[in-house]
Amino acid sequence: MFDLKDKIAVITGGGSGIGKATAQLFAKQGARVCIIDLDAIAAADTVEAIAKQGGNANFYSCDISDQQQVNQVIDRLVKVDILVNNAGIAHIGTASTTSEANFDKVYRVNVKGAYNCLHAVLPLMVKQNNGVILNVSSIAALVGITDRFAYSMSKGAIQAMTFSVARDYIDHHIRCNCICPARVHTPFVDNFIGKNYPGKEKEMFDKLSKSQPIGRMGTVDEIATLILYLCSDEASFITGCDYPIDGGFIKLNN
């Protein structure tokens, strides 16, 4: 099950966290993985780890907010069977405390970056008359999260784009879904806590972990496993859906 042999999978933000775990899992299942990441060193480390496991991967250093750069990368690929729009950034702030510069930055990376990848990949999938797209959204698209105005905006846009693409391309046998994780323990989270809550790292980590009713953050492997399922042929009847993976956050928090 979940065989990706001979599939070409493009994964943005594959140098670390959820993207890295997904890239490694896809390669293990037989996919040729193409990692797009602004951090060339991290992406190279992922490719090396995959090679040590006997997998097939390469990487492209690319700013996904720059459409020309994205087009140049995708133009080098013969085909794309799977696109995982995973790359993104976070931001703390309300509507009144978020600066225009920070709002624009979150929009450029999280929203325009995903659009740029869709814009480049979809014509290939239409030509193939087949393809799968998985967008990484967030529970912030579904419920109100304190001090996450710009981030929530961007993830709400990801969810809306998912439904639109699923509807527009269903006749071309292209499926598009998104997942909505709660907090997942990644290096990004550790760096985020260290930057925004210096001296209170353990306290904030425990607080954020316990905000999920299950009592902990998710793991990158748990998220990658759901992504694998939704991108596999076993999920061929699923399109236009959003999947919370949240330790009970949405339904069980009172």
Nearest CA among 238, 213, 217 for reference residue 227: 238
> Does 93 have pLDDT greater than 80?
yes
Provide φ and ψ at 137, rounded to 5°: -100, -140
pLDDT in tens, 201-252: 999 999 999 999 999 999 999 999 999 999 999 999 999 999 999 999 999 9
In the chain, where does DSSP find H-type helix?
17-28, 40-52, 67-74, 100-106, 113-128, 149-168, 187-196, 201-210, 220-231, 249-252
Burial 207-240 (b: 16+ CB within 10 A, else e): ebbeebeeeebbebeebbbbbbebbbeebeeebe
CA distances from 186 to 122, 203, 205 (A): 30, 17, 12
Structure tokens belonging to residue 193: 């806590």
> Does 254 have pLDDT greater than 70?
no
Structure tokens belonging to residue 23: 């890239």
Number of residues written out for the chain: 254
Average pLDDT over residues 39-43: 96
pLDDT in tens, 130-147: 999 999 999 999 999 999
Distance CA 42, CA 28 (A): 19
Residues 6 or more apart whose CB falls under 8 angstroms from that of 68 comprise none
* pLDDT score of 187: 85
* pLDDT score of 191: 87
The per-residue DSSP string of 40-97 comes to HHHHHHHHHHHHHTT-EEEEEE--TT-HHHHHHHHTT-S--SEEEE-------B-TTT
151 is catalytic: yes
State whether residue 8 is helix, strand or coil.
strand
Distance CA 115, CA 64 (A): 9
pTM across the whole model: 0.95
Out of 60, 115, 151, 169, which one is annotated catalytic?
A: 151
The larger pLDDT score, comparing residue 105 to residue 190, is at: 105
Average pLDDT over residues 141-156: 97
> Does 20 have pLDDT greater than 70?
yes
Range name among 30-44, 45-59, 153-167, 181-195 with the lowest pLDDT average: 181-195
Average pLDDT over residues 165-194: 94
* pLDDT score of 125: 98
Counting residues of the chain whose pLDDT is more than 90, the rounded percentage is 95
CB of 158 closer than 8 Å to CB of 147: no
Pick the CATH number of 8-181+223-238 from 3.40.50.720, 3.40.50.620, 3.40.640.10, 3.30.1330.10: 3.40.50.720
CA atoms within 13 A on the CB side of 171: 1
- Give the number of other CB atoms < 10 A from CB of residue 142: 18
pLDDT in tens, 63-79: 999 999 999 999 999 89
Annotated domain spans of the chain: 8-181+223-238, 184-217
